[in-house]
Amino acid sequence: MSDALIRKCTEADLEILRSIGIETFTDTFAPQNTPENMAAYLAVAYAPQKLQTELITPGVTFYLLLTEAGTPAGYLKLNAGNAQTEVLADDALEVERIYIRQGFQKQGLGRYLLEFALDTARQSGKKHLWLGVWEHNQNARAFYRKLGFRQVGSHTFQLGADLQTDLLLIKNL
């Protein structure tokens, strides 16, 4: 989508990242999880001090996706080097979060952010792009499979008191 803008985030973007994160995570996962587990997860994962730390961690980069009119539509979080949550391959870049607000879905923006991540990985000399996706998120799994990602493993993801499984997907560049 050529009329959208992707820009690198700064600490000044903390509140919009927090808002988009809570909104999109809730929209996507609340129907399949208990309110208690959702509340517990959101309180920790999107706590301002946690996001503040993530924003200044070496190897972590957030990108805000804005519409042509300047409306925040989503964001992307990439992890390189020691900032990655797993070591899946040498010369890899991790997509930890790719969030599109509900009102902007089905417009090609998820693909646009993922293509940006792929280009960023290539420009950084990486050989792989990888991510984790909840085993029950069928739409996301189909989206990544269509773009050439393949499953190479899994890991656990703690959502409140519920231990869930994320599938680890990788794409060779």
Listed by start position, the domains of the chain span: 5-126
DSSP state letter for 113: H
- Per-residue pLDDT of 2-32, as tens digits, reads 578 999 999 999 999 999 999 999 999 999 9
Cα 56 to Cα 38: distance, rounded to the nearest angstrom: 26
Taking 70 as the threshold, does the pLDDT of residue 172 lie above it?
yes
Residue with tokens 């730390």: 53
Average pLDDT over the chain, rounded to an integer: 95
Q: Residue 151: exposed, middle, or buried by beta-carbon count in 10 A (0-12, 13-18, 19+)?
A: middle
Q: Has 144 been annotated as catalytic? A: yes
Taking 60 as the threshold, does the pLDDT of residue 84 lie above it?
yes
CATH of domain 5-126: 3.40.630.30
Taking 60 as the threshold, does the pLDDT of residue 88 lie above it?
yes
pTM above 0.85?
Answer: yes
Taking 80 as the threshold, does the pLDDT of residue 101 lie above it?
yes
Tell me which of 41, 99, 112, 144 is the catalytic residue: 144
Cα 14 to Cα 65: distance, rounded to the nearest angstrom: 14
